[in-house]
Amino acid sequence: MKKRALGRSGLEVSAIGLGCMGMSHAYFPLPDRNAMIGLLRAAVERGVTFFDTAEVYGPYTNEDLLGEALAPVRERVVIATKFGFDVANFPSVDSRPEHIRAVCDASLKRLRTGVIDLFYQHRPDPKVPIEDVAGTVRDLIAEGKVRHFGLSEAPPDTIRRAHAVQPVAALQSEYSLWTRDVEGGILGTLEELGIGLVPFSPLGRGYLTGRMDESTPLAANDFRSTLPRFTAEAREANKALVELLQATATRKGTTAAQIALAWLMAQRPWIVPIPGTTKLGRLEENLAAAEVVLDAEDLAGIRAAAEQIQVVGGRYSEAFQKTVGQTRG
């Protein structure tokens, strides 16, 4: 597996990481825990060194899963987790310094480790100055509990203010062919400051793989059933994006998922997507995207076609978006 540096932070990880949320959260029915331990260890064997979790996934069970699975190979991997939600009152946010410290200590125990490699603020907290958040993580780094500081879904001004207190290694935000909000101001800010980008949902929560259409059923407790972009009408309206990826994949001898990931990685050398999966075959398919080469003509064609497609449906429900805010590039 090829490696990539997350900006100028000195943090080097596999070119494609593994988003672990779906192994114990959001997508139902949940898979067998022992099977997921096996999948996590199989990912390490295949060169993955970058694993993403959060206390709110489960809640708590996802960190515990990673802790058990990765303990035997801890020195070979980079584990990212997150603070910033009030788990008992989700989706309310809480980035008070005392709460950050409590989350850090609890996450260390669940992850069975002495240090968190990358500690993200999961969402901005309008009640707490970002300088206080960055200062708290700076102190945790000084104490040896955290190695690197990250932000998630933060706008440019917040990134700059945080970075001035404690250098930000990575921003995690949704980015894919159907979610391009980070293009412009955010990408420019990251490039200027030397911060890496970790796109979550790089396959559009499964939609961009081409294995889902308007008739694909979603369980009532499936997270996607709450998202405007996953109504049957929106999935029907957005299929032009999938057809674009499939056409490119046919020409290149790959899959639509691999083109979606390769397109992301081609945007900047410091972009590291973290597709999630619970299946070994899909893991191997995703990792193979690191070897897919899209030339300038491919990239120009994809972007030109995508610019003509109007994506239908919001990323989140209005209620959730009011709570956590909206990232704009």
Residue closest to 122 by CA, chosen among 319, 329, 320? 320
37 within domain boundaries: yes
Give catalytic status of residue 57 as yes or no: yes
Amino acid at 62: N
Question: Global pTM?
Answer: 0.96
| CA-based max dimension of the chain | 54
Q: Which residues pair with 151 in a beta bridge?
A: 121, 171
pLDDT for res 184: 86
98 within domain boundaries: yes
290 within domain boundaries: yes
312 to each of 95, 178, 212, 229, how far by Cα in Å? 33, 9, 16, 6
329 within domain boundaries: no
Burial (CB count <10 Å: 0-12, 13-18, 19+), residue 42: middle
DSSP, residue by residue, 118-150 = EEEESS--TTS-HHHHHHHHHHHHHTTSEEEEE
25 within domain boundaries: yes
**Residues spanned by the domain of 88:** 3-324
221 within domain boundaries: yes
In total, how many domains does the chain have? Answer: 1
- Residue pair 253/165 in contact (Cβ under 8 Å)? The answer is no
CATH of the domain at 77: 3.20.20.100
Given 57, 120, 175, 207, the catalytic residue = 57
pLDDT per residue, tens digit, the chain (329 aa), is 999 999 999 999 999 999 999 999 999 899 999 999 999 999 999 999 999 999 999 999 999 999 999 999 999 999 999 999 999 999 999 999 999 999 999 999 999 999 999 999 999 999 999 999 999 999 999 999 999 999 999 999 999 999 999 999 999 999 999 999 999 899 999 999 999 999 999 999 999 999 999 999 998 899 999 999 999 999 999 999 999 999 999 999 999 999 999 999 999 999 999 999 999 999 999 999 999 999 999 999 999 999 999 999 999 988 777 766 544 44
